[in-house]
Structure 1
Amino acid sequence: MIGLVFKELWGRKRRMAGSLVAVFLGVSFLTGTLVLGDTLAGSIDGYYSQSFGKTDVSVRNSTSVSDEPWGSRGQIDASALDRVRQVDGVRNAEPVIQGSGQLLAKDGAIVESRGPRTAGNWLTDPKLNPYRLAQGRAPRAPDEVVINKMFATEGKLKVGDRTAVLTPEKVPVTVVGISMFGDEEAFGETSFTAFSLEGARLHVAKSPDRISGVYVRAEDGVGQRELASRIKPVLPAGTEAITNKAQVEEGMSQVESGFLQIFRTVLGAFGGVALLVAAFSIHNTFAITMAQRTRESALLRALGAGRRQVMTIVGFEALVIGAAATAAGLAGGMGFAALLRQLFTQFRIGIAMEGLTVSATSLLIAVPVGLLVTLVAALGPAMKASRVAPLAALREVAAESARPTDTRVIVGGVLAAVAAGTVVFGAVTEQMAMAGAGAVLCVVAMVALGPVAARPVAALIGGPAARTRGVPGALARDNAARSPKRTAGAATALMIGVGVVTLMTVFIGSLGASLENSVAGSFKGPLVVNSGGNETGGFGTGLVQDAAKLPQVDRVAGAGTGSLRVDGDASTVSVADPAALGRVLDLDVTQGAMADAGALAVSKSVADDKGWKPGTQVPVTFADGASQRLTVGAVYENTDMTGDYVVPRTVWNAHTRQPLDTRAFVVLKPGATVAEAGQALTALAKPYGAPEVQTRDDFVAAQTEEQQGFITVVYGMLILAIVIALLGIANTLSLAVHERTRELGLLRAVGATRPQIRSMVRWESVIVALFGTAGGIGLGAFLGRGLGSALGNPFAPPVLTLVIVALVGAVAGALAAIRPARRAARLAILSAISAP
């Protein structure tokens, strides 16, 4: 039996190659996404392992107000340093000061970065300092700094240059050194400007009595845990000692449960899409080959082979193909991972992924999945082959029924109705989980109803070809309609790929429309001073005060962001003067009023969940460890500009020495022009790091700019999935041409020319591609509307983009048919007629 399998595979190399390619591409896609996740995790782990130098123990504020690994903690009393230095086993201890510090480039603008923009003190002990000098020297005077190489390059700065650092006050400095983070130009994309200890106390800590923490190095023979246990008893209240190992594990745990988990999930979803597309290509390949081997299967049955043996032969054949293609796919996955790494490097995610990291877990996932997908895809054709009656060997057998079964029609119809109803219900009730479940059911229903729709849709789509291209067009239409399962199988793979692309396109369009509507509905002013969404970035609050004095400005309100614990939960909040914010934004206040300068404002969703209302006392904890109760003054509906919480600026400033705004909303006086006010604001903003002065339309576009960059990468990955689908169409056509050799020979014999044969095969491919593309666009648009509505976004599909997707689908279908069409046209007439 095993010999028979290998003989069959070797004797039908074209079929084997088609199946191998489908499995190879799917496994390559999955392996590449898994390896990219491993690579990113390895890179982040490497960064965290180096981020504290060779520190054994760190002393820090014991209050954590953020679940993010880069979340800042409050300052501690500087007296902790002297206490730590007196502990037995401490070889050296240095104070650490860190805070917001935005480096200005040669042109006076802030050097932009995705990562935190920090400033602090240069550690004099090289073993405690994660940075090393690459050029120049360490800072000595309060106005001297060392900057990391990435931002020296970005800001066009070199040793000896004069520039400034915003802390948030503008501090003129001289660059005396350029640093490296190990072998990297920066810690991810973290900008770190290092003052001398005196300069950091003066400009960052704003006090000689406060520091951010202490880095400690142990004596030889003293372990980290032992040293930490010795230090803990001497620490003042509100501080803690943590080992370097525990601190690295803590940071990695936060990354794994946050950003990295999302990253892996997204990549895994794309890998799943690719495998699903590949599975349809594999299934279609086996379905065609099994249908055309009907007489062969019947002969095996006639010679005494049982159903189980026939299934075993097909299953073992699938296993051999799956094993070979999976092994090749693992190697191909490495190349694909390298390509993805380049894409994400261009996207600048903030981590330099040098080399590739492969974990055993990824291999243990990719190998079984590749084999399992192949076996499952071949299961249906194998079962059908095993049911062939022995007498079928004595007569001609139709390869495929032209009509779908009544069971398929009924089950598919019911499933489609349930799926559509679930999506609509989830959209109306804004239940994302319900809408998502309906989306999955829609895909299943689409697969079930594909053969049902294939015949009439192929006839409809092929109508213009039949009318304009004559006999070749009519034959192409009839060929696509005659084999609905084959047509649906090839089209479904493309349908899924195009559907996901359409879904993402519609979703992003809806998100942009939602942001536009929220800005239009909440902010009536024409201008926004916007420094971006970096929590450690922004501009000094003095900018808002200065802007209010401009003759063109009627009202202005600044808003910043920060982290604190609200009712015990780590939360990101907006920081603003509630009364001023209420005068420039319409937050749709449902209870209370944005008038009390010391009151907390919360969103309606949070108030409903917590049972809060105006007058409720809410416990909050700040990064410096201080706790107090804030009174709820207002409950609002519109959260697009502020999030779920607005903390009063006066309250916030009492717990920070570096108050920052990230946005300023400006309303002009009657008669003032936008151009004139924009110029005045731009000039005013220069000493504050030149944050961008944007019109309302530009501000809306900026909100989706980062998402658009990520979506570009997503499109790149999804296009690869569509390529797999198109290769599946090409493979299906190639097999169909091979199996229809006699038919093509007869067509040539009755007068069909080679160009007509080529045209027929090309148009058949275009019909299949248009079927898949149209179905994918329809499905993606429907699901995009449902999922977007579940999140409260309006339906705003970008029509031009969808038209381009449709045109690309048609052109790609024609390209997929080039090779099969040429092969069909080259068939010799007599040889084709005499083919078995």
Structure 2
Amino acid sequence: MGLVFKELWGRKRRMVGSLVAVFLGVAFLMGTLVLGDTLASSIDGYFSKAYGQTDVSVRNSTSVSDEPWGSRGQIDASVLDKVRQVDGVANAEPVIEGSGQLLAKDGTIVESRGPRRAGNWLNDPKLNPYRLAEGRAPRAPNEVVINKMFADEGKLKVGDRTAVLTPEKVPVTVVGISMFGDEEAFGETSFTAFSLDGARTYVAKASDQITGVSVRAADGVSQDELASRIKPVLPAGTEAVTNKAQVDEGMSKVESGFLQIFRTVLAAFGGVALLVAAFSIHNTFAITTAQRTRESALLRALGAGRRQVMAIVGVEALVIGAAATLAGLAGGMGFAALLRWLFTQFRIGIAMEGLTVATTSLLIAVPVGLVVTLVAALGPAVKASRVAPLAALREVATESARATDTRVIVGSVLGAVAAGTVVLGAVSEQMAVAGVGALLCVVAMVALGPVAARPVAALIGGPAARTRGVPGALARDNASRSPKRTAGAAAALMIGVGVVTLMTVFIGSLGASLEDSVAGSFKGPLVVNSGNNETGGFSTGVARDAAKLPQVERVAGAGNGGMRVDGDPSTVSVADPSALGKVLDLDVTQGALSGAGTFAVSKSVADDKGWRVGSQVPVTFADGSSQRLTVGAVYDNTDLTGDYLVPRTVWDAHTRQPLDTRAFVVLKDGASVAEAKQALTALAKPYGSPEVQTRDDFVSAQTEEMQGFVTVVYGLLILAIVIALLGIANTLSLAVHERTRELGLLRAVGATRPQIRSMVRWESVIVALFGTAGGIGLGLFLGWGLGTALGNPFAPPVITLVVVALVGAVAGALAAIRPARRAARLAILSAISAP
């Protein structure tokens, strides 16, 4: 053990390089884990406060959505009196909630990434999750309280006149500004609170219907006991649930949906960072082990066994891994804070205050940091243990100048199998097969790196040798003569650039797929778009009025909602099928969209369920009523409608707030698109001014929600590339140390300091370009394979990829600044006399 610490302390530069590589990888992983913990804690906090101090909620027992914000149908208002009479009820208030879009002071909809809701203000402050920050509670039907976030967004204050779309336009006066506890809103949920009479009139649209009842227990009565007392008085189709059960239910849906995806994505980036760091660690240990060949041989000559030599390297890796992992845990907290700020800037809808660290995150990060370090050092440790004792008596080449035949054969076979697997997955449209092939491709690229490094480095370094003279030629030769080192340093960058390229190609292909689907199914030039297809909408009157415009030939509105189809919670599109069939080509394979009451399903669902035209499908609506719908058509193009198309006439019988999210407009021959857009914009103004978009703008809007997240993804991947570049800098620093005598001799025969700096810089650029080119090639191939497996066309954005290549070259030069400066500062005599 004393020898290990002596070695570490005696070679501080090597130790620092290894520490930095492990530290960055663990910090990246820990940061992503902590961000997931923080988001989960924040969401849990929101749900815990969502019902105020409500002990029991009475609601419709039918659930039609797996989303945590999925709404339920209404119940009979007479339930309220029955609940109030139950022993143990301290207070009970009716709850009315539905769609309600607040208009800003200028008459436009206040945009929100969260649901846009309206309901009644609860007068019991213990039952109400909101509190008044300004003004008073609503009293008259046309008075409202709005939450502060949307008051600020809409430039509204107490006393202002505005309107709420329910979906009819309701003129209102703002009499209060509310806060959700200490937050300005529940996530980014817009909630407009009417008086009870106002909510009955404009939201429930009936005096005998409510959404539910919030109940507060008397002192000494538990939530479970109160719920059990209330249940016997409830009519069929209603249920009583405790506050704890509601919070757990909401968190369960978040955990199994959004949060699971969020954690998986973050974990994937943490894995990429650790993989990149592992290559840097391995390269560091490989170089230092090669540099210590004579030292290892001397140990063997003095009687040390292979296991002892291997143990020295292993313990050294363990010490470095432990120290760097502990530092990485602290660094991960700072990284998590940075990520939290990034996600807050892109408004994911949850204000993440403070950082939360779960025990599981520590139990993952610590072992992973140690294991990755040990595994990365395993190969060099085994190699060190195999050094013959006689090697101490002679000069030993630190590395072979060519790859072994075994590596060439195994790498080539693995590469062929990997490429074939990706192609098979793409052709057969099997994503799982293509994914396995993608992983094998990464392994094959790493295995073949040293094989390709020598010729590729010579090729890439050719221009430098021709234009930069002797320094360029030396840089090319240095990169070519150490293929394993060049490949090892470039491998980390290759993976980082490969993932960036893969994401770039994937997003480009997705956009092209969407453009093709819209171009193939919708021939019209204009779309009225709500801007948020999940949580907003506009009155069906928009399509009805648009049809009367002189420029319009045909128009069809389409909305969406939740219902159970064949027992499964499903999102469905809602429209007049016959009208929609005249503006969209859904590629109907069976039946026809000829009748206003036609229920249609996608071909994939029909094949999976064994349905055909004439099949009877059981459905359940949010209000709890059930019926059987007859399949009248089967269609193949689902891009704009999803898997189910429910007739508007059927849907509207079970909702009091019919909404469209889109209206597709076809113009008459010769009609001006500009004039038609202007007329539609004026027509839509009383409905909250939903945006009138050209077809190209509509396609762009479909990926707009994704772009913010993709930007954050790029940010995370760039950090992984930074780790790779630090690995290159570390490799160059160690290489400079290894070539101290060589550099001294170059100076002695006349090389100037600028020439030495140029040589090291160009060597770094060659390594970076090698990694960047390999990464771009890998990303393009995998982007094609995975995108094709999902049915997307191959559409790589050329300009973005050119930028990635240029950034790789520039970053390579930046990574060499410190090593080049150190190489140029070496004293000639001391460098020549170095061992």
What displacement does 1:122 show? 0.3
Matches within 5 A, 1:450-465: 450-465=449-464
Matches within 5 A, 1:47-446: 47-446=46-445
CA distance in 1, matches of 2:208, 2:541: 26
CA distance in 2, matches of 1:582, 1:598: 13
Matched, 1:613 2:612: yes
What displacement does 1:770 show? 0.2
Matched to 1:424, the amino acid is V
Partner of 2:18: 19
SS at match of 2:670: coil
CA distance in 1, matches of 2:458, 2:170: 74
Unaligned regions of 5+ residues in structure 2, if any?
none
Partner of 1:728: 727
Write out per-residue CA displacement over residues 522-579 of structure 1, whole angstroms, 9 at most, x where no aligned residue. 0000000001234331110011100000000000000001010111111111100000
Matched to 1:805, the amino acid is V
CA distance in 2, matches of 1:594, 1:785: 35
Matches within 5 A, 1:416-815: 416-815=415-814
What displacement does 1:256 show? 0.4
Matched to 1:194, the amino acid is A
CA distance in 1, matches of 2:283, 2:670: 68
* Matched-pair contact (CA < 8 Å) for 1:146–1:175: yes
Unaligned regions of 5+ residues in structure 1, if any?
none
Matched to 1:128, the amino acid is L
CA distance in 1, matches of 2:738, 2:410: 31
What displacement does 1:739 show? 1.0
What displacement does 1:404 show? 1.0
* Matched-pair contact (CA < 8 Å) for 1:16–1:321: yes
What displacement does 1:747 show? 1.0
CA distance in 2, matches of 1:77, 1:326: 59
What displacement does 1:475 show? 0.8
Write out per-residue CA displacement over residues 732-757 of structure 1, whole angstroms, 9 at most, x where no aligned residue. 00000011100111111112111111
Write out per-residue CA displacement over residues 45-70 of structure 1, whole angstroms, 9 at most, x where no aligned residue. 00000000001100000000000110
CA distance in 1, matches of 2:683, 2:80: 42
Matched to 2:550, the amino acid is P
What displacement does 1:619 show? 0.5
SS at match of 1:654: helix
Task: State the identity %.
Answer: 89
* Matched-pair contact (CA < 8 Å) for 2:110–2:154: yes
CA distance in 2, matches of 1:536, 1:833: 72
Which structure 1 residue ranges, 4+ long, deviate > 4 Å from structure 2? none
Moved more, 589-598 or 13-22: 589-598
CA distance in 2, matches of 1:369, 1:331: 15
What displacement does 1:15 show? 0.3
Pairs aligned (count): 835
Partner of 1:819: 818
CA distance in 1, matches of 2:737, 2:629: 77
CA distance in 1, matches of 2:574, 2:423: 38
What displacement does 1:596 show? 2.0
SS at match of 1:550: coil
* Matched-pair contact (CA < 8 Å) for 1:432–1:790: yes
Write out per-residue CA displacement over residues 745-802 of structure 1, whole angstroms, 9 at most, x where no aligned residue. 1111112111111111011000000000000000001101111111110000000000
Write out per-residue CA displacement over residues 661-685 of structure 1, whole angstroms, 9 at most, x where no aligned residue. 0000000011110000000000000
Matched to 2:261, the amino acid is I
CA distance in 2, matches of 1:419, 1:566: 40
CA distance in 1, matches of 2:337, 2:797: 32
Moved more, 464-473 or 169-178: 464-473
CA distance in 2, matches of 1:261, 1:347: 19
CA distance in 2, matches of 1:278, 1:107: 53
Matched to 1:3, the amino acid is G
SS at match of 2:654: coil
* Matched-pair contact (CA < 8 Å) for 1:115–1:534: no
Matched to 1:747, the amino acid is L
Write out per-residue CA displacement over residues 504-538 of structure 1, whole angstroms, 9 at most, x where no aligned residue. 00000000100110111000000000012343311
CA distance in 2, matches of 1:34, 1:182: 27
SS at match of 1:220: coil
Partner of 2:31: 32
CA distance in 2, matches of 1:519, 1:382: 57
- TM-score by length of structure 2 reads 1.00
What displacement does 1:142 show? 0.2
CA distance in 2, matches of 1:543, 1:804: 44
CA distance in 1, matches of 2:433, 2:598: 37
Write out per-residue CA displacement over residues 674-701 of structure 1, whole angstroms, 9 at most, x where no aligned residue. 0000000000000100000000000011
Matched to 1:427, the amino acid is A
What displacement does 1:144 show? 0.3
* Matched-pair contact (CA < 8 Å) for 2:113–2:532: no
